[in-house]
Amino acid sequence: MTRVLVVEDDPQLVRALKINLQARKFDVEQATNGTAALRLAAADKPDVIILDLGLPDMDGIDVIKGVRGWSRVPILVLSARHTSEDKIRALDAGADDYVTKPFSMDELLARLRAATRRQEGPDRPDEVVIVTTEDFSVDLAAKKVRRGERTVRLTPTEWHLLEILVTHPGHLVSQRKLLLEVWGPTYAENTNYLRVYMAQLRRKLEPDPSSPRYLVTEAGMGYRFEP
Ligand code: CA
């Protein structure tokens, strides 16, 4: 059964997609924002992703970039944005196809079949769900971190922070985004939480925690994972 992750915040459209996809024997998971989409893409490894660009918490382009940091899963963009600049941005970020709203369900399904067929070709490289550095590796599917032969024990909060950072390799992730995602809206200003937990992560992962090589601070802005 082909597993499809539908990322869309319009409940009516989600319902219509679900009915049509399930009728054609797709197994449907859904996310209504980008944060949940990135988490589900890493945890459930869907066979294909249908992605709306206008999401409540982040631009769908950033979801594409995040997923492309570690996965080649086909991404089919579904968007009300019609300009060719929008299409180019999405395709450059790593989307496989682009369907504009309103769309015909038959066309969407045909494109979905095409995207999954391409993926099933013989040259498909294995899905990368393990992020590896010279000092540690992060298995996103098994939620395990290893340093050499040793498993590193992380608290759920440390894991959540690390997961967000390693799924955006090389990208600045803002303090606010990390706080919102890990602690929720009430804590969006509590940057001291971040400092404490990032220090803990560095002690566990960095060869020299006092001068971080992988979990880099961008002063006043956020953090960046440098693979
Ligand atoms: Ca939307």
Question: Would you state the pLDDT for residue 194?
Answer: 93
The answer to whether residue 205 scores a pLDDT higher than 90 is yes
- Where is average pLDDT lowest: 51-55, 167-171, 220-224? 167-171
Residues with Cβ < 8 Å from 68, sequence gap 6 or more?
A: 93, 94
Helix (H) or strand (E) holding 42: helix 34-44
63: tokens are 């979801």
Per-residue confidence at 72, pLDDT binned at 50, 70, 90?
confident
Pairing of strands 48-52, 3-7: parallel
Other C-beta atoms closer than 10 Å to the C-beta of 206 total 17
Question: Would you state the pLDDT for residue 137?
Answer: 94
Distance 54 CA to ligand 1 centre (A): 4
How many residues appear in the chain?
227
Distance 83 CA to ligand 1 centre (A): 16
For 69, 71, 106, 137, 210, the CA distances from 43, given in Å and listed in that order, are: 15, 12, 29, 16, 31
Distance 125 CA to ligand 1 centre (A): 32
Question: Would you state the pLDDT for residue 121?
Answer: 53
Distance 170 CA to ligand 1 centre (A): 27
Q: What are 87-118's pLDDT values in tens digits?
A: 888 988 889 889 999 889 988 998 888 888 76
Question: Would you state the pLDDT for residue 124?
Answer: 40
Question: Would you state the pLDDT for residue 87?
Answer: 87
Nearest to 152 by CA among 187, 198, 201, 112: 201
Nearest to 78 by CA among 54, 103, 58, 51: 51
Distance 226 CA to ligand 1 centre (A): 31
Residues with Cβ < 8 Å from 127, sequence gap 6 or more?
A: 45, 71, 72, 73
Question: Would you state the pLDDT for residue 126?
Answer: 46
Nearest to 220 by CA among 185, 194, 186: 194
At residue 123, φ and ψ (nearest 5 deg) are -90, 10
All structural domains of the chain? 3-120 (3.40.50.2300), 130-225 (1.10.10.10)
87: tokens are 């299409």
Distance 103 CA to ligand 1 centre (A): 14
Q: What are 162-193's pLDDT values in tens digits?
A: 999 998 888 888 998 899 888 887 888 889 99
> Can you tell me the mean pLDDT for 3-21?
95
Whether the model pTM is above 0.75 = no
Distance 178 CA to ligand 1 centre (A): 22
Q: State which residues have CB under 5 angstroms from ligand 1, the bound ion.
A: 9, 52, 54
The answer to whether residue 66 scores a pLDDT higher than 70 is yes
Distance 53 CA to ligand 1 centre (A): 6
Distance in angstroms (rounded) separating the CA atoms of residues 200 and 131: 20
Distance in angstroms (rounded) separating the CA atoms of residues 40 and 49: 10
Per the prediction, the chain carries an average pLDDT of 89
